[in-house]
Chains A and B, each alone.
Chain A
Amino acid sequence: GAVVSQHPSWVICKSGTSVKIECRSLDFQATTMFWYRQFPKQSLMLMATSNEGSKATYEQGVEKDKFLINHASLTLSTLTVTSAHPEDSSFYICSATVLGPKNEKLFFGSGTQLSVL
């Protein structure tokens, strides 16, 4: 149980285009999902908290107009990187919480490697 599916696994796009990444909880309902990004040889940095049916909460320094998050159902959150540029190239990882209101135990997707040319 507690499987999080992330799609696509990798994507290459041209500068200026938009890319959508999907995160699905396959066997549970996730009212809260989290989006992280990870640069090579670095840690995971929290970008935003995605709440079903409401606006996402973004971390300081993360542009909400550039990284659009939609959490329209209890099993799906999407991250859209708008007008992507080479500096947006990174590994994006989503996670969902299963137990309780403290969002403690996270299950992670397999990540999406984004390369912007």
Chain B
Amino acid sequence: GESVGLHLPTLSVQEGDNSIINCAYSNSASDYFIWYKQESGKGPQFIIDIRSNMDKRQGQRVTVLLNKTVKHLSLQIAATQPGDSAVYFCAENSETGGFKTIFGAGTRLFVKA
């Protein structure tokens, strides 16, 4: 199977601070990108998505930034809360190989109260 990276870096932030989680994607042909949140023992949960014709998209307390030049995605979480503690994955979707979603390495976010 495909996967972008096998390491799981950790980010620790204080409750109320803003969090920034970064991701490098692999396929320059990818045109749709998604951030997922995964809590322990559960399946991934959709957070926010962005298409390749955009460089920024905002949701509730979350913002995704896309830099296609360097194939980089970031997820910004405003006023981080303890309930935000989880593993966050970026994922990319492209026509390559038939429209499938490939996950990035993931980042574990710890929110300290």
Which bucket holds chain B's interface residue count? Answer: 20 to 34
Cβ B46 vs Cβ A107 within 8 A = yes
B112 at the interface (CB under 8 A from A): no
Cβ B43 vs Cβ A62 within 8 A = no
A78 at the interface (CB under 8 A from B): no
Of B1-9, B12-20, B59-67, B74-82, which stretch is located at the interface?
B1-9
Cβ B1 vs Cβ A61 within 8 A = yes
Q: CB within 8 A of B103: which of A43, A59, A103?
A: A43
Tell me what chain A mostly uses at the interface: helix, strand, loop, or mixed: strand
Q: CB within 8 A of B1: which of A45, A93, A103, A107?
A: A45
Cβ A43 vs Cβ B4 within 8 A = yes
Number of A residues, CB within 8 Å of B: 33
A75 at the interface (CB under 8 A from B): no
- Give the distance to chain B from A61, nearest Cβ to Cβ, in Å: 6
Report if A102-B3 is in contact (Cβ < 8 Å); known contacts: A41-B8, A44-B44, A109-B43: no
Cβ B99 vs Cβ A103 within 8 A = yes
A24 at the interface (CB under 8 A from B): no
User: Which residues of A pack against B, CB within 8 Å?
Assistant: 4, 6, 34, 36-37, 41-47, 49, 57, 59-62, 91, 93, 95, 101-111, 113
